[in-house]
């Protein structure tokens, strides 16, 4: 095939390729739209500070890459691409539970069982003061 030659049978993209591109575009636009919706909803929510207790912590690792195991330790190899998100579940004084995402530095400062004042806005974590 020469450089610049067309793909498909009719000199353009095949119908399957057009469908795949369309699906990708819809998913991308949906993800961006959802992110904007959550951002606007959080900005329109009141900032609240309530008594709360740290119930549990979790991490979500996503991505891919070359992972080698050395003993019980996973070591990401060269060219790996992973992303870790951090979540903490708080139990509010009214019994309601709220899971909030946060930065790794904040996550590391909290321990299960900690009690204090949780500040949040919608689903956005603002801070936690032990007390």
Question: Taking the domain 46-130, which CATH number applies?
Answer: 2.40.50.660
Give per-residue pLDDT as tens, 62-119. Answer: 887 555 555 555 555 555 688 999 999 999 999 999 999 999 999 999 999 999 999 9
- pLDDT for residue 42: 93
- pLDDT for residue 50: 97
Query: Do 100 and 124 contact (CB within 8 A), yes or no?
Result: yes
14-18, 41-45, 79-83: the lowest-pLDDT one: 79-83
- pLDDT for residue 118: 98
Extents of the domains making up the chain: 14-44, 46-130
Query: Do 78 and 66 contact (CB within 8 A), yes or no?
Result: yes
How far, in Å, CA of 32 to CA of 48, rounded?
A: 27
**pTM (2 decimals)?**
0.68
- Tell me how far CA of residue 30 lies from CA of 21, 24, 110, in angstroms: 14, 10, 33
Query: What value does the mean pLDDT of the chain take?
Result: 86
């Amino acid at each position: 095939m020469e450089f610049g030659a067309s793909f498909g049978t009719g000199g353009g993209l095949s119908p399957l390729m057009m469908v795949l591109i369309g699906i990708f575009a819809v998913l991308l636009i949906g993800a961006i739209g959802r992110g904007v919706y959550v951002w606007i909803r959080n900005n329109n929510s009141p900032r609240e500070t309530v008594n709360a207790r740290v119930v549990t912590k979790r991490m979500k690792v996503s991505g891919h890459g070359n992972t080698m195991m050395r003993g019980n330790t996973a070591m990401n190899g060269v060219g790996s691409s992973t992303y870790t998100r951090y979540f903490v579940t708080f139990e509010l004084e009214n019994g309601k539970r709220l899971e909030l995402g946060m930065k790794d530095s904040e996550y590391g400062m909290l321990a299960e069982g900690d009690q204090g004042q949780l500040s949040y806005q919608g689903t956005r974590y603002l801070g936690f003061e032990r007390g």
